[in-house]
Amino acid sequence: MTVATTDLDRLKSGADQLFSKKKLAGFSIPLVIIAYLVYIFFAFDVPGLYSRADMDNARTLVADSYSYKMHVTRDNRSAEVDISIEGRRNGTYPEDGSPDWVTRGEETVIDLGQGHIATFGPEIVTYTIPGYGTFRAEPGRSGVNATFPDGDLPGWINASKNRVAITTEAGRFTVTRNRTEVFRYFNGWEAFWFTLDSPYYGLSVGEVAGRAVQGEAGDIFTAFWTNSMWRHQDVAWALFETVLMAFLGTFGAGLIALPLAFLAAKNFAPLMAVRFAMRRMFDFLRGVDALIWTIILARAFGPGPLTGALAILVTDTGTFGKIFSEALENVDKAPIEGVQSTGASAIQRYRFGVIPQVVPVLISQLLYFLESNTRSATVIGAITGGGIGLLLTQAIITQQDWEKVTYFIVLIVLMVMAMDWISGILRRRLISGDGTGH
Amino acid sequence: MAETSASTRVDVIQTDYMALTRRKRLYSLVLLIVFVALMVAGFNTADSRNAGGFWNGITHVFDFPAEVLGEAWENIAELPRHLVAHLPALIETLNIAAASTLIGLIAGTVLALLSTRGLARWPRLIGLFRRLMDIARAIPEIVIALVLIFVLGGGPVPAMIAIAIHTTGALGKLFSEVNENVSLKPVEGLRSVGATWAQQMYLGVIPQVGPNYVSYALLRFEINIRASAILGFVGAGGIGYDLRNAMSWGQGKYDQAAAIFILLFLTIVAVDQISGYLRAHLTYGTQAREGVRP
């Protein structure tokens, strides 16, 4: 009886200990995580981030990604008026053309909507703001020569002798000695389909479809494909290059890694030294990392898709070598012996005994990597200069083409998702449909 | 009579089987030819669009490493000093990877629980959370990092956020696959005593899936170290940023670049080994084969 009681006591104290240990773990793990995140919070100077963050940049970025602005510019010396999309040369209206909110003439009248009217006369420019009055200026050599309505200047007017900037909800009006500029903002991506010089610019979807039916489909496609502002042709090529990098890199690595993996697998390479050398080589290729391979290879091959493909190929040869050799070590002996018992040669043993067992693993790994390498190829392209990664970095560096940046991001996400989808389909088809390997 | 019919049946089966085999062989051959053609055409296209050709470059592959190593060898006495000098940057890179993995682990856990049938808090929104994870997974880190660098300025935070978003998507998907196999009994037990959803998940589900989650997170940590080094190279701080600076000093100054190469290589190999060991112990080898999937 006493024995049972001590037993019970021991059990109880053991259980108590276990509970207190679990309790401790239950509290300490979240605490450690929180402590680490607090450390990161200060180590990365997150509190200082607010002062460093450039909210103006953020605003331009967001506004620019879904809207565009039309520039109406008057050269104050020659009184010539230019109308263009975002001030770009290849987005400029012809001399006699204009959007319907601008009336060209002796005096150019710009209707900014909501009652805001700007005019560019031969000498004088004006801007009429409802509820405030009319601003007038006679820019010339002596300055802007501005006249404001009576009263104090409101905060949204920024005026000096040589420059006046007026920002309203309808747009922006700037006068300097040499230029007068009016910006009007619109939603959307202008000239995405056709540029201004194309005959299809400004037509509705129905009209374009009608023309396509009448036999102009080829011309319409050419106009879209060679759009000089959005450069659809170059973008498509860049996407193709990125996928190409991933494809060549992944499958090239697979082709090189497969024979090497046999040399690294315990059951196929009896020589310890060979196995060891192969494994260390795989570790080295993987450990050097795609970044360093990219830098090294870019020196030898120059910028371009081939460099990116080779960087992926080298890194993944290490990875595949490791995976494949592990898969080979896990093969079942029975089928190999079965094939051998029919008097098969060594090559036939590999062909019918080993390959059918490992092929599903290899293909599924290759296809997994194809998708993830599409993403890597975007990043590597940004470093070596190839594919959509290059276009993206170029667009970001200009710091004003945010609508293009948005467009590229959407395309990249769609490309990666498409590769994921295709690799999933192929994985299911190839593995379930051809599992026997015959 | 019976014998002949049996033998004809065997004949029919044999001819059918042979036809099937031949067809399969033909398909395999066609697939192989298409694959080889794609590889060759792809290689030629990539080669023609590259600034330097493959056959010109292949003989010069080792020029640059030889130059870097040569310079490092000349200044071998300086090497320890360089290694120490770049250690803080290495720690920053490791911190970026660790913090983003941790954030991704937490966010991925929540999203995975919200998108698993049977566990979801709002079963109708499962599709929405799944799409969210798909999109987070599809965005390459560099995209978010570059945009955030423009707004927040350079430094580790843009890289951390960018990697964390991608990690959330990647881990969330793996976690929701793990969740499919969870036993619902503990959850029902907790629900019957009036536990909230968060309590049900924290006390009923997490203990079951914890080792698997941690194993996947360790794998992700390895990948994220590489990613954070690359993001440094485009301006997000850490060892990659140092590397770019060291590279831009050009010839004669490559001893610093060599020191960074060595640091990065040793770190990646060390973390791979440690995490491989931990993972093998966490899941008793069940996940070991998928060890290196990015």
Residues of B in contact with A326 (CB under 8 A): 288-289, 291
Do residues A277 and A421 both lie within one domain?
A: yes
Partners of residue A159 on adjacent β-strands: A164
What pLDDT, in 10s, does the model give residues B170-194?
A: 999 888 888 888 888 888 888 889 8
Query: What percent of chain A clears pLDDT 70, i.e. is strictly above it?
Result: 96
pLDDT at A253: 92
Residues of B in contact with A283 (CB under 8 A): 269, 272
Under a CB-based contact definition with an 8 Å cutoff, are residues B275 and B221 in contact?
Answer: yes
Give the chain B residue nearest A378 (alpha carbons). Answer: B140
* Residue with token string 């940046």: A405
CB neighbour list of residue B69: distance below 8 Å, 6 or more residues apart: B258
pLDDT at B108: 92
Global ipTM = 0.81
| Nearest-CB residue to A302 (from B50, B272, B288) | B50
Cβ–Cβ below 8 Å for A327 and B289: yes
Query: Residue B285 above 80 pLDDT?
Result: no
**A213, two tokens:** 């039916």
Do residues A245 and A178 both lie within one domain?
A: no
Rounded Cα distance, A350 and A337, in Å: 11
Phi and psi based region of residue B194 (left: phi greater than 0; alpha: psi -120 to 50; beta: remaining): left
What pLDDT, in 10s, does the model give residues A142-170?
A: 777 778 777 777 877 888 888 888 888 87
Rounded Cα distance, B110 and B198, in Å: 10
Query: Coil, strand or helix: which one is A82?
Result: strand
Q: How far is A252 from chain B (nearest CA, A)?
A: 8
Do residues A245 and A345 both lie within one domain?
A: yes
Do residues A428 and A337 both lie within one domain?
A: yes
In a domain? residue A45: no
Query: Residue A435 above 50 pLDDT?
Result: no
CB neighbour list of residue B197: distance below 8 Å, 6 or more residues apart: B121
As for how many domains chain A has, the answer is 2
Of A49-53, B108-112, B266-270, the range with the lowest mean pLDDT is: A49-53
Question: Helices (DSSP H) in A136-271: which residue ranges?
Answer: 205-211, 217-225, 232-264
Range of the domain at A139: 70-187
Q: Which of A89-98, A180-189, A241-250, B69-78 holds the top average pLDDT? A: A241-250
| Nearest-CB residue to A301 (from B54, B92, B141) | B54
Domain boundary among A187, A210, A245: A187
Under a CB-based contact definition with an 8 Å cutoff, are residues B201 and B113 in contact?
Answer: yes
Pick from B31, B49, B223 the residue to mutate for testing the A interface (most A CBs within 10 Å).
B49
Do residues A252 and A389 both lie within one domain?
A: yes
Residue A288 Cα to chain centre, angstroms = 25
In a domain? residue A60: no
Under a CB-based contact definition with an 8 Å cutoff, are residues A84 and A71 in contact?
Answer: yes
CATH number of B72-290: 1.10.3720.10
Surface of A (119-158) touching B: CB under 8 A = none
In a domain? residue A372: yes
What is the number of residues in chain B? 294
Do residues A174 and A247 both lie within one domain?
A: no
| Nearest-CB residue to A43 (from B47, B54, B95) | B95
In a domain? residue A177: yes
* Residue with token string 């207190």: A20
Residues of A in contact with B50 (CB under 8 A): 301-307, 386
pLDDT at B3: 59
In a domain? residue A26: no
Residue A222 Cα to chain centre, angstroms = 26
Q: How far is B192 from chain A (nearest CA, A)?
A: 22
Cβ–Cβ below 8 Å for A247 and B38: yes
CB neighbour list of residue A427: distance below 8 Å, 6 or more residues apart: A363, A364, A367, A368
Count the Cβ atoms, other than its own, within 10 Å of residue B201.
20
Q: Which of A29-33, A82-86, A163-167 holds the top average pLDDT? A: A29-33
* Average pLDDT value for residue range A372-399: 85
In a domain? residue A51: no
Cβ–Cβ below 8 Å for B151 and A58: yes
Q: Transcribe B41-75 into DSSP letters.
A: HHHHHHHHHSSS-HHHHGGGTTHHHHHHHHHHHHT
Query: Residue A308 above 80 pLDDT?
Result: yes
Pick from A255, A306, A388 the residue to mutate for testing the B interface (most B CBs within 10 Å).
A306
Cβ–Cβ below 8 Å for A46 and B25: no
| Nearest-CB residue to B157 (from A44, A58, A307) | A44
Query: Coil, strand or helix: which one is A98?
Result: coil
pLDDT at B293: 42
Please, which pLDDT band fits residue B289 given cuts at 50, 70 and 90?
A: very low
Q: How far is A295 from chain B (nearest CA, A)?
A: 9
Do residues A159 and A294 both lie within one domain?
A: no
The one-letter amino acid at A149: P
Q: How far is A251 from chain B (nearest CA, A)?
A: 8
